[in-house]
A and B are shown apart, each in its own frame.
Chain A
Amino acid sequence: MSEHEYVPKSKAGKWFNDRLPLLTLGAHLTDYPTPKNLNYWWTFGGILTFCLITQIVTGIVLAMHYVAHADLAFASVEHIMRDVNYGWLIRYIHSNGASMFFLAVYIHIFRSLFYGSYKSPREVIWIIGLMIYLLMMAAAFMGYVLPWGQMSFWGATVITNLFSAIPLVGDSITTWLWGAYSVDNPTLNRFFSLHYLIPFLILGLVVLHIWALHVPGNNNPVGIDIKKPSKDTVPFHPYITIKDAFALLVFMIIFAGFVFFTPNVLGHSDNYIPANPLVTPAHIVPEWYLLPFYAILRSVPDKLGGVILMFGAIFILFVLPWLDTSKVRSAIFRPIYRQFYWIFVLDVLMLGYVGAMPAEGIYLVLARVGTIYYFAHFIIVMPVVGLLEKTDPIPMSISEPVLTGGAEPSLARKVNDKV
């Protein structure tokens, strides 16, 4: 990125760097020109990296004490809580950490939606991010199964049964996933294995996510292309590192509040009842971060249709960069889209809420309306608003907030062309 090539000062450094340019990479990461107007919504990338590392470190320690067996799993978790030194702390960090991870990732995704960070030239960053999100959901779901409580068992039963909706081969696939004819010990064993694997896949994708980010550089709240480096940018270190550190610490205070004072409020009390295949809980609900998709699943009277819509709700995000027809990135300059954006946020929150309620009466109606709107937002609102909307004037650069005459995004482009 920078004009001059980095050269290590010491001879040994140069010798090593010629063979593996790790020091050049380090220099690139510290010098990396970052838009200086990034707001706090941009700190969640760093927070998410922290969440991932926290989950991996606590998870590795938990795995040293956990036993992945249907007869022993529940007892081994209690062993961690009672007999392992600070086991309660490690487990509560891990279980609440999952929720904090999703809280951060949702803020990160909705930030991207508001400021148009998924748009050209950042589509690949967006798609890798969605792959991370999918793997996160898989990891979280399998992790929730491991304590082998009632919600673990019945959650696993409901979710794996979804695959039986696939025509012809559905039942065979489900049996194959279970490794048995119902959710049982083989299921628990493989879920543990996959739960340990997936975080490292996520870690690999995170590296690609950041790599892909460092090609075009960060988007920013104004959403215009900027010259790098320039008056509009600051070096990543110390400016962004210190800001990320501050935001991370605030996040950690909230995190600690959950861990130390209400460690079980985000979980379901039924999961402290050992799994019992003969007793079905009154309401089977997933963890809060999966509730909107659960609501979509249950809003369709047909099982296969529900499964298709649920997966469709995620996969439609993959084509979002091409559904959004607007040339302007940031919603700050899109008065119409901005309104729809907030309606969409409310729609997702409402879906999450009805996902926790029994699928009947008013809740079912709300779930159906919410589901229809969810898809309408992407299929109708995004393309149509992008074409019809008259956007507000866009500044030429971050430092010089000189507004152009009209809503002409090409002017911002021209600035970029000169670079």
Chain B
Amino acid sequence: MIKFNIKLLVLSFLLLISLRPLQSAEMVDPIKVDWSFKGLTGTFDRASLQRGFQVYKEVCASCHSMQYLSYRNLGEPGGPEFSEQEVKAIAASFEIEDGPDSQGEMFTRPGKPSDKFKSPYPNVQAATAANGGAYPPDMSVLVKARKGGANYIYSVLVGYEDPPPGVTLDDGVYYNKYMAGNKIKMPNNLMDGLVEYADGTESSVDQMAKDVTTFLAWAAEPELEERHRTGVKVIIYLILLTTLVYLSMKKIWSRVDTEV
């Protein structure tokens, strides 16, 4: 009878869980993309990460900061894995403010791999003022900071539409199918052929959105590949150990007349 009740309990609980989508009835579910980094052994598509970085650098970076990333991260395992030379070149293409020097003066110098990504604005207030009162969020952990994660970011990037009849938008506000409330202050910045991919991939809006989302997913979880790899090993180890301990337990408890 206890067993029956536990089943009942589990069933009721599953029912409760299945009701959850009611919560976000006002929002359109984001498009489900079959990302390479999903699943227990998911890894990032290296080429897509490199292309995604290019989209970020040429399009997003003019408004969005990524202050928790360093240029060296671009060459680390599990990421875009640019070569050491490429990372140095990327870093050197930015002018970084440093100082004060021995005279107490601030100065600029070419970036080094150890530098953090250069932000487009000196502070949040400047970024907000320059973007019509809407702060373009820092993108370091953006994928983790949005319900729906990578699917949501991708959906917003491809979700620009003409507003349905009856919806009027203020200047500098755009209609987006997937954005909460459907109103977004970021214009639709992606158009076919906007960037020229170094590897010759055709830069359609969909391709660029996927690439940059992949890049952002890595930026938010640079440990993902190592985490997945370690996780598989840890769980295999634990299952083996559990089996051994289970057998030991059976052996020890065979001395008493109780089931274990």
Q: Known: A88-B223, A260-B227, A346-B12. Is A273-B145 also a contact (CB below 8 A)?
A: yes
> B228 at the A/B interface (Cβ < 8 Å)?
yes
**Bound Cα distance from A358 to B249, whole angstroms:** 48
Closest beta carbon of chain A to B238's beta carbon, Å: 5
Instruction: Contacts A234-B256, A239-B253, A346-B9 known; list 18 others, CB within 8 Å.
Output: A36-B258, A82-B69, A82-B222, A239-B256, A242-B245, A242-B252, A245-B245, A246-B246, A246-B249, A249-B242, A249-B245, A253-B238, A257-B235, A260-B231, A261-B231, A272-B145, A272-B220, A338-B5
Identify the closest chain B residue to A40 (Cβ): B260
- The reply to whether the CB of B40 lies closer than 8 angstroms to some CB of chain A is yes
Q: List 16 A-B contacts (CB under 8 A).
A: A78-B140, A92-B227, A242-B253, A243-B253, A246-B242, A249-B241, A249-B245, A256-B234, A257-B235, A259-B231, A260-B228, A264-B144, A272-B141, A272-B144, A273-B137, A338-B5
Q: Is the CB of A243 within 8 A of B249?
A: yes
Q: Which residues of B contact A88 (CB under 8 A)?
A: 223, 227
The stretch of A9-17, A168-176, A349-357 in contact with B is: A349-357
- For residue A342, CB closer than 8 A to chain B, the reply is yes
- A36-B256, A249-B238 known; A261 and B144 CB under 8 Å? no
Query: Is A256 a contact of B258 with CB atoms below 8 Å?
Result: no
Q: How far is the CA of A353 from the CA of B23 in the complex (A)?
A: 11
Kindly state whether residue A37 has any CB partner on chain B within 8 Å. Answer: yes
Query: When the two chains form the complex, which single residue of A37, A78, A256, A357 contacts B235, counting CB atoms closer than 8 Å?
Result: A256
- A250 interfacial by beta-carbon distance below 8 Å: yes
**What is the chain A residue whose CB lies nearest that of B234?**
A256
Q: Which residues of B contact A338 (CB under 8 A)?
A: 1, 5
State whether the Cβ of A212 lies closer than 8 Å to any Cβ in chain B.
Answer: no
Establish whether residues A353 and B16, one from each chain, have CB atoms under 8 Å apart when the complex forms: yes
Count chain B residues whose beta carbon lies closer than 8 angstroms to a beta carbon of A. 49
Would you call B146 an interface residue if the criterion is a C-beta within 8 Å of the partner chain's C-beta atoms?
A: yes
Residue among A82, A250, A270 having the largest count of chain B Cβ atoms under 10 Å: A82
B19 CB to nearest chain A CB (Å): 8
**Who on chain A is nearest to B148 by CB?**
A269
What distance in Å separates the Cβ of A102 from its nearest Cβ neighbour in chain B? Answer: 16
Q: Specify the chain A residue showing the minimal Cβ separation from B17.
A: A353
Complex Cα distance, B260 from A264, in Å, reads 35
Q: In the assembly, what is the distance between CA of A311 and CA of B22, in Å?
A: 29
Q: Shortest Cβ distance from B5 into chain A, in angstroms? A: 5
Within 8 A of B (CB), among A339-397: 342, 345-346, 349-350, 353, 356-358
Q: Does A336 contact B (CB under 8 A)?
A: no
A239 touches B252 (CB 8 A): yes
B23, A356: Cβ atoms under 8 Å?
yes
Known: A261-B228, A342-B5. A75 touches B68 (CB 8 A): yes
Chain B residues, Cβ within 8 Å of A284: none
Per-position 1/0 for A237-280, Cβ under 8 A of B: 01100110110011011001101110110000110111000000
Please name the residue on chain A nearest to B253 by beta carbon.
Answer: A239
**B107: A residues at CB distance < 8 A:** none
Which of A242, A270, A274, A350 has the most chain B CB atoms closer than 10 A to its own CB? A242
Q: Taking the nearest CB of chain A, how far is it from the CB of B245, in angstroms?
A: 5
Report chain A residues within 8 Å CB of B8.
342
- Whether A37 lies near B68 (C-beta < 8 A) is no
Interfacial chain A residues near B2, Cβ < 8 Å = 332
Q: A242-B252, A256-B234 are in contact. Are A349 and B16 (CB under 8 A)?
A: yes
B121 / chain A contacts, CB cutoff of 8 Å? none
Report yes or no: A37 in contact with B12, Cβ–Cβ below 8 A. Answer: no
Instruction: Say yes or no: is A89 at the interface (Cβ < 8 Å to chain B).
Output: yes
How distant is the Cα of A175 from the Cα of B248 in the complex, in angstroms?
57
Q: Are A256 and B141 in contact (CB under 8 A)?
A: no
B19 neighbours in A (Cβ, 8 Å): 353
Q: Which 5 A-B pairs have the closest CB atoms?
A: A260-B231, A272-B145, A249-B242, A88-B223, A78-B68
Chain A proximity of B141: nearest CB distance (Å): 5
Residues of chain B lying within 8 A (CB to CB) of residue A36: 256, 258
Q: Which residues of B contact A332 (CB under 8 A)?
A: 2
A397 to chain B, nearest CB (A): 13
What residues on B are CB-neighbors of A261 within 8 Å? 40, 227-228, 231
Assembly CA distance A26 to B69 (angstroms):
51
Chain A neighbourhood of B13, CB < 8 A: 349
Whether, in the assembled complex, B73 has its beta carbon less than 8 Å from a beta carbon of chain A, the answer is yes
Find out whether the CB atom of A269 lies under 8 angstroms from the CB atom of B258.
Answer: no
B residues less than 8 Å from A349 (CB atoms): 9, 12-13, 16
Contact B16 A256 (CB under 8 A): no
Q: What residue in chain B is nearest A242 (Cβ atoms)? A: B249
* Nearest B residue to A399, CB-CB: B257
Residue contact B231 to A253, C-beta cutoff 8 Å: no
Among B22, B220, B231, the most chain A Cβ lie within 10 Å of the Cβ of B231
A81 contacts chain B at the CB level, 8 A cutoff: yes
B223 touches A81 (CB 8 A): yes
CA distance A256 to B145 in the complex (A): 23
Please, which residues of chain A bring their CB within 8 A of the CB of B109? none
Please give, as numbers and ranges, the residues of chain A lying within 8 Å of B23 by CB-CB distance.
356-358
Residue B57 is within 8 A (CB to CB) of chain A in the complex: no
| Contacts A345-B9, A349-B12 given; does A256 touch B68 at CB 8 Å | no
- Are A260 and B253 in touch, CB under 8 angstroms? no
C-alpha spacing A89/B144, complex, angstroms: 16
CB <8 Å contact, B227 and A263: yes
- Bound CA–CA A234/B252 (angstroms): 11
B32 at the interface (CB under 8 A from A): no
Within 8 A of A (CB), among B1-35: 1-2, 5, 8-9, 12-13, 16, 19, 22-23
